[in-house]
Every structure is written in C-alpha cells, then in structure tokens.
Structure 1
C-alpha cells in the first residue's frame, strides 16, 4: 500500500519518475518536469493526466500538428500511433499510465 502526495514530488532532472505500480504489464508513474519531452510514438496506448501545473500537448494527425493546453485534472489518451510531445509551462507533475517499458 502507498500514499503519495504528488505535489511534494520533485525530480532531480526533467521527466524523472516515481514508480507507483505495475499491474499486468501496465505501469503507472508520477513524472516531474520543467522541460519538454521529445516527439515520440508509444508502443501501446498512453493515458497522460496533469496533476499539477499546465502542459501544452502537441500531437500530429492526418490534418497536421495541433496543440492543446492541459490544466490540472485534464487527461490525454494517446492511441497507438499517435505522435506527440508534452511541453510544460513551468514545472508540472504528470501521471502516466502505459505499457511497461514504453518510451
């Protein structure tokens, strides 16, 4: 059993993660960052939840590149093949649920 106060987690580097659980090959991690990630496509689906701060989520589809500003409580579900990059506006804490070992 764990209790985690997300707002107290601060990584030493951008995108540092606090592992929370791995259940049937699906990992749940709390990330802290103040820097953008990189454009990528996950091996499987991803659920991305902003817990603190705000994040500009960039994604690409057949109609080009789009940007959605995510605030605390907002959720992004990346289906298989969704190319995306998260760019925080200052420090942010993000809950990520994805296949274990995914990029």
Structure 2
C-alpha cells in the first residue's frame, strides 16, 4: 500500500521521477519538472496526466506541429509513433504511464 502526495513531490532536476509501480513492464512514474523535455517518440503508447501545473504539449500530425494546453486533471494519450514534447509553464507534476525503458 502506498499513498503519494503528488503536490509535495519535487526532484533535484527537471524530469526527475518517483517510480510508483512496474506492472508487467508498464511503468507508472511521477515526474516533477520546470523545463521542457525533448522531441521524442515513445517505444509504444504513453498516458501523460497533469496532476499539478500547466503543460503545453507540442506534437506533430502529418508533419504539422500543433500545441495543446494541458491543465491540472487533463490527460494526453500519445499513440504509437506520436512525436511530442512537453513544455511546462513553470513547475508541473505529471503522472506518466508507459512501457518500461521508453524514452
């Protein structure tokens, strides 16, 4: 049994993470960041839930870059092959569910 108070979590560096669970190769991690990530495509699908803060998610569809603002409680699903990068507006806490070892 675990209780995680996400609003209390911080990391020593951008995108630092607290490993919450590994379920048969699917990881659940709580990330803290105040800096953008990098453009990437995951090794499989990814669920990205904003628990605190605001994140601008940039993604490419058919070679066209788009941006959607994600607010606390919003969830972004990156399907296989979805190129994306998260840009927080200040500090943010994000729950990420993805294949173990994914970028």
Give TM-score, length-normalised by structure 2.
0.99
Partner of 2:101: 101
Partner of 2:85: 85
Query: Within 2, Cα distance between the matches of 1:74 and 1:49?
Result: 6
Structure 1 stretches of 4+ with a deviation exceeding 6 A read none
Partner of 1:37: 37
Which ranges in structure 2 are unaligned for 5 or more consecutive residues? none
Partner of 1:6: 6
What pairs with 1:26-65 in structure 2 (closer than 5 Å)? 26-62=26-62, 64-65=64-65
Query: Within 2, Cα distance between the matches of 1:77 and 1:56?
Result: 14
Q: Secondary structure at the match of 2:7?
A: helix
Q: Secondary structure at the match of 1:40?
A: coil
Deviations 1:3-31 (A, max 9, x none): 00000000100000000000011000000
Q: Would you say 1:66 and 2:62 are equivalent positions?
A: no
Query: Within 2, Cα distance between the matches of 1:37 and 1:26?
Result: 21
The count of corresponding residues between Structure 1 and Structure 2 is 103
Give TM-score, length-normalised by structure 1.
0.99
Query: Within 1, Cα distance between the matches of 2:38 and 2:63?
Result: 20
Which ranges in structure 1 are unaligned for 5 or more consecutive residues? none
